[in-house]
A and B are shown apart, each in its own frame.
Chain A
Amino acid sequence: MAEIIKKATRDAYGENLVALAAEYPDLVVLDADLSSATKTGMFRKTFPDRFINVGIAEQNLMSIAAGLATSGKQVFASTFAMFAAGRAFEQVRNSIGYPHLPVKIGATHAGISVGEDGATHQCCEDIALMRTIPGMTIINPADAVEVKKAMRAVMKLDGPVYLRFGRLAVPILFDESYDFAIGKGMQLTEGTDVAIIATGLMVAEALTAAELLKNEGIKARVINMATIKPLDRDIVLKAAAETGAIVTAEEHTIIGGLGGAVAETVGEALPVPVMRVGVNDTFGRSGPALELLKIYGLSAENIVVKAKQAVEIKKQSCR
């Protein structure tokens, strides 16, 4: 097996802002005094005239981004997920979402893998919040390659997008040939016993889980769902039809995120068991990211447990 190369998606975000800026002269980046952490600092150094620091004022950040977007700017607005989706929710909804302005919200430090900063900064609610805004696109890349592809794709998007990035270095899963499309899930492994639909850093865990399940004779179909809204209904319903058992995996509360979206979709069209791996309606705490991921069940091992449960429920319902 090749050596695993790891990189945080926030680092890829920072690098690709710089790369895109040369191509898009109207691209500007806003930050709220977190440029060293969100990695917009790379852009700040290279394009100081196109970097706007609004200071510690996230509500202002989002509404200023909206104003810039009305006047032809390609705006990336960056802060931590907690403040982008949480504190500034209503600014995102009313200043950006309602007028459907093409603001790109670059939200870093999403999820429990923020680590030592603890519960106040571990945002596990952002996908749920953003999903409720009509017309919002939500993309949660799994690795640095997906970040690059997604950022290029959103430049053409006529509407708001929430890009979700992590602080923790995660394995690079894809190569440059990866063909990313907004709103399209991607099947990574073949399998008809159970489908594991994963997003963000849980995609790597899902692939490991599929290996573990294979050893136990369960063939798992792993689907990478980078775009959570609009959800790729076709790939979800195909998985429901062909496997009859689904596990979702996300670094987010089990309420209203990918698991919610998948459950709603199959519940209305093709009901099959949907087991949700995620943060189980609880706040996080301080600790090393990798330990926290295990403690909160965001692991290949837990996906395996849930996958077996899903398969069992499927068997019972067939009797």
Chain B
Amino acid sequence: MDALTKKELLITATKIRMAIIEGVYNAKSGHPGGSLSIAETLAVLYFVHMRVDPANPKWKERDRLVLSKGHTAPALYGALALKGYFPMEDIPTFRHVDSHLQGHPDMKGTPGVDMSTGSLGQGTSAACGMALAAKLDGSNYRVYGILGDGELEEGQIWEAAMFSVHKKLDNLCLIIDNNNLQIDGTLDDVNSPYPITDKFAAFGFNVITIDGHDVEQIDQAITAAKKYKGKPTAIILKCVKGKGVSFMENQAGWHGTAPNKEQYEQAMQELTAQLKQYEEAV
């Protein structure tokens, strides 16, 4: 990856983070923690890899993204707005009664949302269905599913995992946000899905573990997934929940809490400083 691309991706990821904070603050509710952790991933997916056309969101041959961890919709909305699916001005309407930006993604209302999700576990199966449709049609579009690590406690994830390997869905790439936190605490406190890598490997996936905030590693992993034939890929992202906002980092309490005015201002100040730093970098 050249320096300019990297710089642009870091800027985009930061802008996604600002959109997350903007949306959640204005909604006075929402899920900032797990949204902030996938900002780099969405930047790399939408701005490097995914073959999409914001002017034609339902284009049949487009790559698809299913946000199986649908509560992190603020991150998806940020990426979609930056990509041009709808105006950035929509972001502060998140979760408001007249907004198309629902608390969890709604494929009927929001351009660019490929699947309605929010009930954990289901999106991964839907992604399998899309990948299977591509295989049946002889199309070469790819399907990305973004999952939470806590979401791996849902049994349906493993039904889908078994199915995707059985059907050799090598056009499917599952990306697991392993930030180690869920609502009630750490994964180990609640009901550990570890070892995550071994589980996906045992199910027959091509497994890649990377730093989930390193855009170069994310790019390389997605490229490797595209080249891998015969099996779906699982990319395990080692992430920091709440990444980019100092007081939200690694705090389970910021899973589903909105910042107050002071916290909002501090968060935006921090993100603005990060943005400036990336913009000024050579």
**B130–A67 touching, CB < 8 Å:** yes
**A73–B133 touching, CB < 8 Å:** yes
Partner of B163, one of A28, A57, A65, A69: A57
**A66–B108 touching, CB < 8 Å:** no
Dominant SS among interface residues on chain B = helix
Interface membership of chain A positions 23-54, coded 1 if the CB is closer than 8 angstroms to chain B and 0 otherwise? 00000100000000000000000000110101
**A67–B121 touching, CB < 8 Å:** no
Q: Does A267 contact B (CB under 8 A)?
A: no
Q: Does B177 contact A (CB under 8 A)?
A: no
Q: Does A94 contact B (CB under 8 A)?
A: yes
Size band of the interface chain B makes with A: 35 or more
Q: Does B37 contact A (CB under 8 A)?
A: no
Size band of the interface chain A makes with B: 20 to 34
Which residues of chain B have C-beta atoms less than 8 A from A65's C-beta?
129
Residue in A52, A68, A72 with the greatest tally of chain B CB atoms within 10 Å: A68
**B126–A95 touching, CB < 8 Å:** yes
Taking CB as reference atom, which chain A residue is nearest B124?
Answer: A63
Interface residues of A in 50-84 (CB under 8 A from B): 50, 52, 54-55, 57, 59-60, 62-73
Taking CB as reference atom, which chain B residue is nearest A32?
Answer: B159
Which residues of chain A have C-beta atoms less than 8 A from B127's C-beta?
67
Q: Does B40 contact A (CB under 8 A)?
A: no
Which residues of chain B have C-beta atoms less than 8 A from A90's C-beta?
119, 122
Q: Does B118 contact A (CB under 8 A)?
A: yes
Q: Does A16 contact B (CB under 8 A)?
A: no
Partner of B132, one of A55, A62, A64, A99: A64
Q: Roughly how many angstroms separate A69 CA and B119 CA in the complex, as a whole number?
A: 18
Interface membership of chain B positions 57-96, coded 1 if the CB is closer than 8 angstroms to chain A and 0 otherwise? 0001000101000000000000000000000000000000
Nearest-neighbour CB distance to chain A for B119, whole angstroms, equals 4
**A55–B162 touching, CB < 8 Å:** yes
Dominant SS among interface residues on chain A = helix
**B121–A59 touching, CB < 8 Å:** yes
Interface residues of B in 115-138 (CB under 8 A from A): 115-116, 118-119, 121-134, 136-137
Q: Does B186 contact A (CB under 8 A)?
A: no
Taking CB as reference atom, which chain B residue is nearest A99?
Answer: B116
Q: Does A108 contact B (CB under 8 A)?
A: no
Q: Does A91 contact B (CB under 8 A)?
A: yes
Q: Does B114 contact A (CB under 8 A)?
A: yes
Nearest-neighbour CB distance to chain B for A96, whole angstroms, equals 10
Q: Does A98 contact B (CB under 8 A)?
A: yes
Q: Does A100 contact B (CB under 8 A)?
A: yes
Nearest-neighbour CB distance to chain A for B65, whole angstroms, equals 12
Taking CB as reference atom, which chain B residue is nearest A71?
Answer: B133
Q: What are 6 A-B pairs with beta-carbon distances under 8 A?
A: A49-B136, A60-B159, A60-B160, A63-B128, A64-B125, A95-B122
Interface residues of B (CB under 8 A from A): 60, 64, 66, 106-108, 114-116, 118-119, 121-134, 136-137, 155-156, 159-160, 162-163, 166-167
Given contacts A52-B132, A94-B122, 13 further A-B contacts (CB under 8 A): A28-B136, A57-B156, A57-B163, A59-B156, A60-B125, A62-B125, A64-B125, A67-B127, A67-B128, A67-B133, A70-B126, A91-B156, A95-B116
